[in-house]
Amino acid sequence: MSIKVSPSILSADFANLEKDCRMVIDAGADMLHIDVMDGHFVPNISLGIPVVKSLRKKSDAFFDVHLMISKPHLYAKQFCDAGADLVSFHLESDSDVMETINIIRSCGKKVGIVIKPATPTAEVYKYIDKVDLVLIMSVEPGFGGQKFMPVAVDKIARVHGKAKELGLTDLMIEVDGGINEKTAVMCKYAGANVLVAGSYVFGAQDVADAVAKLKA
């Protein structure tokens, strides 16, 4: 599977969100990573349903929505209806995992499951054949601009190995946090095929070059 780049719009200029989102897609990004935080599951508050709905009216890009919220089962359908193409939620949340997966599936959307740096990869194995994507956090969720945690590389390799063992050739393995041209290399060799990058892409002088380096 080719490498896909999903820039986190948390690093975009919110006063020019439509323009910035169009810029990174035109520069070669494959999707837009939309971080949703509730101030409870993580100690920060970010974008919500109205922003996704408004942005969908201005963009036909693939929306990769990452729910960092305590009760994703209560809001997953609303995000799907607002325009999400893929909804990922945390294994560590308070919601029943299979119930949440089924809600997203019932909306006809792709589904992802996310694990924090301290969560063992084995915890996700029972659901790996039921989702389209596994997102491995390489920072503690909640804030952009954090330093990459090398423990993520081994976790990516473990999930990649399990997917290969089960013949899940279409599984997307995404990594989020501290991604740049150097950390991307380690992640790709370990088996990641979707890279989330915020400040590295949106803060680049040459956005197309930044995206190309992540894919190279």
Q: What would the pLDDT profile of 67-117 be if each residue is shown by its tens digit?
A: 999 999 999 999 999 999 999 999 999 999 999 999 999 999 999 999 999
What is the spatial distance between Cα 142 and Cα 46, in angstroms, rounded to a whole number?
A: 9
Total-model pTM: 0.95
The mean pLDDT of 42-65, rounded to a whole number, is: 94
Question: Residue 139 CB: number of other CB atoms within 10 A?
Answer: 20
3-class DSSP assignment, residue 205: coil
Residues classed as catalytic? 35, 176
The answer on pLDDT for 144 being more than 80 is no
pLDDT band at 145 (very low <50, low <70, confident <90, very high): low
Is domain 4-215 in CATH 3.40.50.1100, yes or no?
Answer: no
Given this model, what pLDDT does residue 139 score?
92
What is the spatial distance between Cα 190 and Cα 121, in angstroms, rounded to a whole number?
A: 14
CA 164 to chain centre: 21
- Which has the higher per-residue pLDDT, 43 or 26? 26
Given this model, what pLDDT does residue 141 score?
82
Residues above pLDDT 70, as percent of the chain? 98
The answer on pLDDT for 147 being more than 90 is no
One-letter identity of residue 168: L
The answer on pLDDT for 44 being more than 90 is no
The mean pLDDT of 186-196, rounded to a whole number, is: 97
Residues above pLDDT 90, as percent of the chain? 92
Question: Residue 133 CB: number of other CB atoms within 10 A?
Answer: 20
The answer on pLDDT for 119 being more than 90 is yes
Domain ranges of the chain: 4-215
DSSP for 87-145, please give it.
Answer: EEEETTSSS-HHHHHHHHHHTT-EEEEEE-TTS-GGGGGGGGGG-SEEEEESS-TT-SS
